[in-house]
Chain A
Amino acid sequence: MSLPGASGGAGSMLELRDVTAGYGAFTALWNVSLRVQAGEAVAVVGPNGAGKTTLMRAISGMIPIRAGELVFEGASVGGRPAHEIVARGIAHVPEGRRIFPALTVADNLRMGAFLPAARRRYAESLERVFGLFPVLAERRAQRAGSLSGGEQQMLAVGRALMSCPRLILLDEPSMGLAPVMVLRLFDLIQRVRAEGYTILVVEQNVRQVLKIVDRAYLLEVGRIRTEGAASALAQEDFVRKAYVGL
């Protein structure tokens, strides 16, 4: 559905054009433009308070956008409420995981398939999720709140997959996880991607995330500061100094 001559070539799945968004009187994002091609894994990195979570929330319809355009698969989706955005094929794994702690693992996954279209493919989706995250199958009858942090993050991703999305937004998936778990999780994200999902991930763990994505954007105080191939961005001096810790 991409326009002829549009930069980036064919298959632009998600495109933000000069998006401005915020909370109340506070503007957290200023004229942010970015694009994600179908099949790509793209990261948005940046320090705390750069507006990364706001960006994710604006895309998934949890907060309205004030200006600019949000296009998903050729249709303008800016201003649509969150439950409609999911129905279009964008699943948002929110910051802090936000699983339903008092529900069982199985019920969490069942809720992931809330949409009628997703409910029809429930069995098939469940099999895929259990294939990716076997630990969820083992713990399906357990209360989700009793899972470890890493397992909860897997559940949050698995629950998002249950809605049969094409694009997955991951907000700080490594937050609060032990270093060894972070590595495992990034490995799992790569496997999710290998299943054919397009991924847009926001991370503070810049060094790790740049290893698993194709391209990345650097967001600072609500503005895109630079963008480029992940490998190139990792070599840039200021990125290395500021975020990679080398």
Chain B
Amino acid sequence: MIDPIFLLEAAINGILLGGILALLALGLNLIFGVIDIVWIVYVDLVMLCMYVLYFTNQVYGWPFWLAALAALAVGAGLGVAVHVLVISPILASPPINQLLATGGLLFFIQSFATFLWTTDHRSVRFSLPSFEVGGIFLPATRLIPFGISILAMLALYLFLTRTFMGTAMRAVAQDREAMALMGADPRRIYVMTSAVGGLMAGLAGTLLVFQYSVHPFFGGQFGPLTFMICVLGGLGNMVGAFVASFIMSEIISIAGVIWSTEMGYVIAFVVFIVMMFIRPGGILARSE
């Protein structure tokens, strides 16, 4: 039998991981909700932002805060670039073409990153303390990203509900044609949304380097998981994605302690498939 303290530690780690997953999922979900396209490439943009941090901070010696700002700026820029160069020309195409186009971009980015930077794992080194509370270790490299992630999601919530542009984004997500009748140019709102989604990718990258090393296939580690969280929560449903992030992270974390991390992923994906049968519209879908 496993010492309950390990289970408790796993549960806490699950919450800390869930915070980061939720940030990834909300970024992807925001873009899907407004533009109606799933950016399969989303976590690969996160990966590029992690490289920005690695090179500016570790190679060029920029202070971390400046490197983080650079990653955020690159993230927002990448978001706009993906929209303008790849999505915008195929907005009227069938959804499968749009999905394949962002999928193609994913392989392009992975290959190009491998070509530029090889498959080496690169890490940003931190010297941060760990706290021990009642026999449970809480490293600052997990607490800090979690805290920032929660604050960022709160900021996103306030942006979407309290600002004019955020409200307009939600309105487009509900009815883009009606929003055009209000005098809004949907193309402008799409670019704005892509920039915000890209900014969130930059932030997620910044937080992920605290715990993970970056390599060209980093997207494979978190991409499918992020996508599945969004589907589990109901694509486009922000609250659903938030809740689903913590469900998935707890499964992975607790199963990881009982068996192994690999088994944690196996169980998480089985839960996902089963949920697709039980609640295909997402965990929070209203039955209507």
Contacts and interface: CB of A to CB of B under 8 A. Distances in A.
B79 to A, nearest CB: 23
B235 to A, nearest CB: 15
6 contacts: A94-B177, A103-B174, A107-B167, A112-B182, A115-B183, A159-B182
Contact of B175 (A100, A107, A114, A163): A100
B181 interface: yes
A83 B185 CA distance: 6
A91 B183 CA distance: 9
A60 B181 CA distance: 8
Interface string B154-173: 00000000001001101100
B180 interface: yes
Contacts of A163: 182-183
A92 B171 contact: no
Nearest to A117: B183
A103 B185 CA distance: 19
B179 to A, nearest CB: 7
Contacts of A112: 182
Interface string A83-124: 100110001101000111111000100111011001000000
Contacts of A38: none
Interface in A147-163: 159-160, 163
Contacts of A212: none
A72 B94 CA distance: 35
Contacts of B174: 100-103
Nearest to B175: A98
A99 B181 CA distance: 11
A159 B185 CA distance: 17
B184 interface: yes
A92 B182 CA distance: 9
**B interface, over-half SS:** helix
Contacts, number: 65
A87 B182 CA distance: 9
Given A81-B185, A98-B175, A101-B174, A111 B180 contact: no
Interface of B: 164, 167-168, 170-171, 174-175, 177-186
A100 B178 contact: yes
Contacts of B168: 111, 114
Interface of A: 60, 62, 81-83, 86-87, 91-92, 94, 98-103, 107, 110-112, 114-115, 118, 159-160, 163
Given A103-B170, A114-B168, A98 B178 contact: yes
Max count, chain A CB within 10 A of own CB: residue among B164, B170, B171, B177: B171
B170 A114 contact: no
Contact of A111 (B177, B182, B185, B186): B182
Nearest to A101: B174
A94 B179 CA distance: 11
Given A100-B175, A103-B174, A62 B167 contact: no
A83 B183 contact: yes
Contacts of B181: 60, 62, 82, 86, 91-92, 94, 98, 160
B177 A114 contact: no
A86 B183 CA distance: 5
B183 A103 contact: no
A112 B175 CA distance: 13
Contacts of B180: 62, 81-83
B167 A103 contact: yes
